Amino acid sequence: MPADLRNQKQMIIEDLKFLIAELEQNPQVSPWVINLALRSVKHKVALWGAQTNAQKIELERLIQLSPPLSESQTL
């Protein structure tokens, strides 16, 4: 497996470990924290799955265009 794929895989694993640790330490963790961690994983998985630079550039552009979550969307 190329180094960049290993690094992306490791970053996804670290995000999931963070989320699991937060849930174990605080079962009442804010939905905002959960959503943030899952969005990070989703972003990294999408980039990992992109096969060409053009796809990666387009994914980055679409992610930048997506509006941030408002407080009301996370409650």
Provide the pLDDT for residue 51.
61
Residue 67 banded pLDDT, cuts 50, 70, 90: low
- In the chain, how many domains are there? 1
CA pair distance 22, 37, nearest whole angstrom: 10
Q: What dihedral do alpha carbons 42, 67, 75, 13 form, nearest 10°?
A: 20
Determine the angle formed by the axes of helices 3-25 and 31-49, rounding to 10 degrees. 170
Kindly tell me if the per-residue pLDDT of 74 is higher than 60. no
* Range of the structural domain that residue 11 is part of: 3-74
Kindly tell me if the per-residue pLDDT of 31 is higher than 80. yes
Q: Is 0.85 surpassed by the pTM of this model?
A: no
More confident residue, 11 or 70: 11
DSSP H helix total and E strand total for the chain: 4, 0
Reported as type and span, the H/E element at residue 6 is: helix 3-25
